[in-house]
Amino acid sequence: MNVIVIAVISLGVIAFILAVILYATSKKFAVYEDPRIGKVAEALPQANCGGCGFPGCSAFATACVNADSLDGLNCPPGGSKVMNNVASILGLDAEEKEPMVAVVRCNGTCDNRPTTNEYDGAKNCAIASSLYGGESDCSYGCLGFGDCVDVCKFDAIHINPKTRLPEVDEEKCTACNACVTACPHSIIELRKLGPRSRRIYVSCMNEDRGPVARKACEVSCIGCGICVKTCPFDAITIKNKLAYIDYNKCKLCRKCVDACPQNAIIEVNFPVRKPRVKKEDEKGAAVTKKKVATDANQTMKAEGSKVKKVDQPKTDQAKE
Amino acid sequence: MSNKLTVSLSPHIHGGDSVQKNMYGVLIALIPAFIVSLVFFGLGALIVTATSVAACVFFEWVITTLFLKKERSTIADGSAIITGVLLAFNLPSNLPIWIIVLGALFAIGVAKMSFGGLGNNPFNPALAGRVFLLLSFPVQMTTWPVVGQLTTYADATTGATPLALMKGIINGAPGASFDQLPDSISLLIGNNAGCIGEVSAIALILGLVYMLWRKIITWHIPISILGTVFIVAGVMHWANPSIYASPVVHLLTGGLLLGAIFMATDYVTSPMTSKGMIIYGVAIGFLTIMIRQFGAYPEGMSFAILIMNAFTPLINAYIKPKRFGEVAKKK
Amino acid sequence: MLKTFSRGGIHPKENKLSAHQSIKTLDVPKQATIMLSQHIGVPAKAIVKKGDEVKVGTKIAESAGFISAAIHSSVSGKVFRVDKVVDASGYPKDAIVINVDGDEWEETIDRSDELVKECTLSSDEIIQKIADSGIVGLGGACFPTQVKLTPPPSMKAECIIVNGVECEPYLTADHQLMLEHAEEIMVGVSILMKAAKVNKAFIGIENNKPDAIELMTKATASYAGIEIIPLKVRYPQGGEKQLIEAIIKKQVESGKLPITTGSIVQNVATVYAVYEAVQKNKPLFERLVTVTGKSVKSPSNLLVRIGTPIEQLIDAAGGLPEDTGKIVSGGPMMGKALTSTNIPTVKGTSGVLIFTQKESNRGPSQDCIRCSKCVSVCPMGLEPYLLAALAEHKEFERMEKECIMDCIECGSCQYTCPAYRPLLDYCRLGKAQVGGIIRGRQAK
């Protein structure tokens, strides 16, 4: 009995002394931190993704607290909701930022872009691109080994096994820029998410001459310039035989999508349109002149708009 | 040409070496020791080895296909078979089957697969299994059958091993003397009690020569271990010949040769550079002889190797190979 | 005791299927595609345009920087276009495409076979002539020769080392060149000695070419200061740093140029090209290429005009075999796999290797078993297993500390690895990234 009492008392005394020492040192050696940093840090998503340009959320919080204004400071995963929170904690104004999303500018699916050789080696885009341009005749297109998938912290991009192209989940994408820098062919770009998530872009990076580009991929941009002439807002420019749509000038009128003879321009999240009658064949049935390209980024079901040309057999070029 | 060309980065040729070739080469090197064990321990050796190999392969197959859900189990590369054989060679030939199976489970399940399988384990799985059994079942693991009982298994007559005798002499056990040790020829061919695979020096050395010829291992680890043991034991014997055995006896007894040739040279748990291997070998040799002379256990090899396995990452981090064109540090 | 380098190295099967095949001159192609970037450094600038008439030996592109080289037409005809063409790198690059008409050579070129021994030009004149003739290293690296012969003022050359090693399996063009043109090579070496202002030269030849060693040793009798050094057969003996170490027993310091050891290394084919340029006024527009492979009908050593499509070389060796799986430009250890047979030859094409389907695929790759065989074969004393793992995990700063920039990309590690790990693929990736980091740091 005595032993138990002595043990309890002595342990209790030791614990008390240690607690006092700990309290004293925590007070004496305390580092002053602006309490606002903690509050701001709590309001952040805690993903530590680096999308803000700072090494982690607490570094970003410190930068916000020490800055005079929130201009130039933005948390892409948090978006305007989080920035407004931060602004209200600090008594500043958050700048209005358009939500952005990653866009994969290549539509070279297995059907559109036949493979002409087999790659053997480490399945890594950076390594493959150091060897050559890829398994097809288009040396600018997506290599398909998924460096972008490996680097995404938000599970927002995956390779579709049927098309072998990456697909971005626009709900999860935070536009943190990781996949943009990971892609060795610079295929992925951050573009405006757009009103009602609608956007239009040229889904091709091919800078070869027209005949060469067309041979490599059925939906490549041949640099013909029809889209430039068609655009009423001067939003499209051609450089190195490749068209590019400026997302700040584009008003989403969709005239270029119709005009492109190669179906290289993609519209995302627009309502399905009826196929236009261009000519009649001998039987008198209505056929359209062109195929609609498969859009890897269409989130709406668009089965009805995929019209195939009746007299051209669908060549299955997936695998030999 | 109907087929597509394959495109890859250089080099475009390969030397033809494979994990399987190396593993099966080690197995071939173990054959002489196995044959000797059958000659001296008969049925017991066969049962223990077969049980150990079957258990190790079974556990690896179960873990890779059912738990890890891999598409192909890794038993084909031969490393589970080797773990089984080496574990068996470290056990007495009268060990009950259920103990062997437990040892195999620990060796494969805990010491190898839980770290990620071949290539990722920090400790030698066979030795980890052996030490686990030694600590858990000290009595069964330290009673060895006398040689020559070819048809008995669990109920074999047991007797002292040379190492137990040597420990007795050091501790001053009454009646113990060096005359009771088997002569050198017996020690060489294996006519003495001990674990299945460790008794015959000649069989193990044959295995070493084979592996060196096939370039499966290099000389650095075995020679540095044996050399260190010889030198340290030699110094101690010269200082006090009445209680410390001669270095030749040390080399030929116990698990030293088996450990130096087959266990310490395990790819995964040994250092990657020649300099590192020599440091590793010297340390193992030193620890072995210290445990043998001053420790509580008669045999120190397993503990010495496991201790140095823990140091291997440190050796790899600090001992770098001599770089070509190394810029001489200016003082 | 044969001389050799100090560490690592492997001995792959030599497979010299085209050995002792005498040099055959390949027909002129119908259309020649001459790449503007056939050398290390700035690509050359085209000085002809569509429709221009050119002759064999006409300069069609001039050097565009200090480290750059001129390019001369290898055919006579009319320039079809100056455009981007996919070359061995897999990406479209600038090239001059010429439609061939006949085989008319520039009048200044001396086409006779007579050996011209005397060279009356001064050292600077020789270097200028080499530069004007577009000579680059023909061993594969294609470094402009005139730059190697003009070391920075703080460094002085003491000897010339000629690389007659040809350590890669399958390749035999250099061997055949030494057998058929030993005297010209000797004159070439003397010219280089004069240009570099040295009086010693060593020619390293691997011991698996005893007839070349004997012939070349006899030829050195009438030339001062040249010595033939037989070397142990070991890959990568032909690597610049390994060759220097074997011959003059000095190691090139990490991060420094080979000239710091006082030696200038030139491939034996480059030496022959120097002879032809200086003594015969013949600029560099053709070279020897080995076409070989286990399934090739007639493995040969061909004299090829630069710009000929690979297809024509393969046809001359008996045509593309049915079961072809891979076509490699260069040797099997360091060569580049091609995507098609339309790729044009460049100054650096030393061989065309055809691999069968069975030989073309790597085995499945496993986890590293830490056998340390890669460490023991690395000729630069590196740890490939560690460098590959670091590259996979993108730890580029640590790779720099582990001396990744010393890697000569010889491939010995991947050749040896029992787990079939793509070690060199990852090391190359890491080297490129670390190189970028270092350049970024130096730019600040």
- Mean pLDDT in residue range B250-258: 90
Q: Are C236 and C342 members of one domain?
A: no
Distance, CA of B312 to CA of A136 (rounded, Å): 46
Among chain B residues, CA nearest to C88? B7
**Do C212 and C239 sit in the same domain of this protein?**
yes
Residues A227, A248, single domain; the answer is yes
Are A185 and A77 in a shared domain? Answer: no
Same domain, residue pair C273 and C297: no
Tokens encoding B331:
């003082």
Same domain membership, residue C59 and residue C161: no
Q: Based on the domain organization, do A41 and A140 belong to the same domain?
A: no
Q: Is residue C11 domain-resident?
A: no
Same domain? For C199 and C88 the reply is no
In a domain, A235, yes or no: yes
Q: Which of C360, C390, C419 is the last residue of a domain?
A: C360
Are C87 and C95 in contact, with CB atoms under 8 Å apart?
Answer: yes
CA distances from A253 to A28, A41, A170, A265, A304 (A): 66, 41, 21, 13, 21
What are chain C's partners, defined as 3 or more CB pairs within 8 angstroms?
Answer: A, B
Question: Tokens 């005949």 label which residue?
Answer: A211
Eight-state DSSP code of residue A142: -
> Which of the residues in chain C have pLDDT under 70?
none
Nearest to B10 among C254, C333, C355 (CB): C333
| C328 in reach of chain B (CB within 8 A) | yes
**Does the distance separating the beta carbons of B325 and C254 come in below 8 Å?**
yes
Say yes or no: A76 and A128 in one domain.
no
Task: Check whether A253 has a pLDDT greater than 80.
Answer: yes
Identify whether residues C164 and C45 lie together within a single domain.
Answer: no
**pLDDT of C145:** 93
- In this structure, is residue C118 part of a structural domain? no
Is the pLDDT assigned to residue B179 strictly greater than 60?
yes
Q: Apex CA A232: angle with CA A229 and CA A237, to 5°? A: 50
- Per-residue pLDDT, A276: 56
The parent domain of residue A46 ranges over: 35-90
ipTM over 0.85: yes
Residue A111 and residue A63 share a domain: no
Q: What is the pLDDT of residues B69-95, one digit of tens each?
A: 887 778 888 889 999 999 999 999 889
Would you give the DSSP letter of residue A115?
B
Q: Are residues A195 and A164 in the same domain?
A: yes
In chain A, which residues have their Cβ closer than 8 Å to the Cβ of C365? Answer: 122
pLDDT of residue A98: 79
Domain for residue A294, yes or no? yes
- Report the gap between the CA of B99 and the closest CA in chain C (Å): 29
Q: How far apart are CA A116 and CA A136, in angstroms?
A: 5
Q: Are residues C133 and C268 in the same domain?
A: yes
| Chains within contact range of chain A (3+ C-beta pairs < 8 Å) | B, C
Mean pLDDT over A52-80 rounds to 80
Query: In which element (H, E) is residue A27 found?
Result: helix A2-28
Supply the mean pLDDT for chain A: 81
Examine residue A22 and state whether it is found in any structural domain, yes or no: no
Confidence grade of residue A196 (pLDDT, cut at 50, 70, 90): confident
CATH of residue C32's domain is 2.40.50.100
Residues C149, C268: one domain? yes
Q: Which of C280, C315, C342 is the last residue of a domain?
A: C280
Q: What is the pLDDT of residue A316?
A: 39
Beta pairing, strands C201-206 & C77-86? unpaired
Radius of gyration of chain C (CA): 21
Of residues C411 and A209, more confidently modeled: C411
Cβ distance of C429 and A124 shorter than 8 Å: yes
**CATH number reported for the structural domain that contains residue C354 in this entry:** 3.10.20.600
Structural domain boundaries, residue C315: 286-360
Let me know whether C71 and C155 are in one domain: no
Domain identity same for C221 and C192: yes
pLDDT exceeding 70 applies to what percent of chain C?
100
Percentage of chain B beyond pLDDT 70 is 98
Is residue C327 within 8 A of residue C352, CB to CB? The reply is yes
Q: Are residues A79 and A146 in the same domain?
A: no
Average pLDDT over residues B286-305: 91
Closest residue of chain B to C334, computed from CA coordinates: B10
Query: Are C266 and C303 within one domain?
Result: no
Residue A310 has pLDDT above 60, yes or no: no
Residues A84 and A174 in one domain: no
Are C200 and C337 in a shared domain?
A: no
For chain C positions 215-244, those within 8 Å of chain B (CB to CB) are 241
In chain C, the number of structural domains is 4
Between vectors from CA B211 to CA B208 and to CA B214, what angle results, nearest 5°?
150
Residue C421 falls inside a structural domain: yes
pLDDT (tens digit, 9 = 90+) per residue, A101-145? Answer: 999 999 989 888 988 888 888 889 998 888 888 888 888 999 999
- H/E stretch holding B120: none
Residue A105 inside a domain? The answer is yes
Identify whether C9 is part of a domain.
no
Tell me if A11 is assigned to some domain. Answer: no
Q: Could you give the 3-state DSSP secondary structure of residue B183? A: coil
- A85/A196 same-domain check: no
Residue A10 covered by a domain: no
Instruction: Based on the fold, state whether residues A177 and A77 are members of the same structural domain.
Output: no
pLDDT at A273: 75
For C14-65, how does the pLDDT look when each residue is reduced to its tens digit (9 = 90+)?
Answer: 999 998 999 999 999 999 999 999 998 899 999 999 999 999 999 999 999 8
Q: Is residue A136 part of a domain?
A: yes
Quick check: is A7 in a domain? no
Instruction: Verify that A86 and A107 share a domain, yes or no.
Output: no
C45: in domain:
yes
C16 in a structural domain = no
The H-or-E segment that residue A73 falls in is: none
Residue ending a domain, choose from A44, A69, A90: A90
Separation between Cα atoms, residue C106 and residue C280, nearest integer Å = 12
Q: Cβ B6–A118 below 8 Å, yes or no?
A: yes
Inter-chain CB proximity A120 and B5 less than 8 Å: no
Q: Which of A90, A112, A127 is the last residue of a domain?
A: A90
pLDDT in tens, B127-146: 999 999 999 999 888 888 88
The enclosing domain of A46 has a CATH number of 1.10.15
- Given a cut of 70, is residue A286 above it in pLDDT? no
At residue B277, does pLDDT exceed 70? yes
Region B181-207 average pLDDT: 87
The whole-angstrom separation of Cα B55 and Cα B129 is 12
Separation of alpha carbons A196 and A167, rounded Å: 19
Q: Which of B1, B3, B6, B9 to mutate to test the interface with A (most CBs of A within 10 A)?
A: B9
pLDDT of residue A279: 47
* C52 within some domain: yes
Over residues B158-168, the mean pLDDT reads 83
Based on the domain organization, do A86 and A104 belong to the same domain? Answer: no
Q: Which of C100, C115, C133 is the endpoint of a domain?
A: C100
Residue A172 pLDDT class (50, 70, 90 cuts):
confident
* More confident of the two residues B39 and B159: B39
Which pLDDT value is given to residue A304?
Answer: 35
At residue B63 the predicted structure's pLDDT band, cuts being 50, 70 and 90, is very high
Give the confidence band of B328 by pLDDT, cuts at 50, 70, 90.
Answer: low
Q: Is residue C167 part of a domain?
A: yes
Total domains in the fold of chain A: 2
